Amino acid sequence: MFDFFKTKKNYENLSSSAFKAMISENPTAVIIDVRTALEFKQGSIPKAINIDLMDVNFSQKIAQLSKDKTYLVYCRSGNRSGSACKYMGDNGFGQVYNLSGGIMSY
């Protein structure tokens, strides 16, 4: 069977409990909030860095990150972070995890 039209998913969606477990089990993991700066200021997961997916410099900021680390990515509902995770996976990041349901589920 041919898989020409199937898109390979190169990141993993995690439930809120699994995401929290990853944070506690991986102290060197990088937590990325891809919401806007305003959303980030209104509340974020401790130790998260803000790299706005909609920022024109998003790809440049991601390119500066080490591809050898574990990345835990989230947004408000999980949609933007899913896009960010796909972008990261497509660009050689091997350990990328999306918070399914976003910070609203956290």
pLDDT tens string 29-66: 999 999 999 999 999 999 999 999 999 999 999 999 99
The pTM of the whole model exceeds 0.85? yes
Active site residues: 75
Is it the case that residue 7 has pLDDT exceeding 80?
no
Strands (DSSP E) found in the chain: 12-14, 30-33, 49-50, 70-74, 95-99
Q: What is the pLDDT of residue 9?
A: 79
Q: How far is the C-alpha of 78 from the C-alpha of 96, rounded, in Å?
A: 13
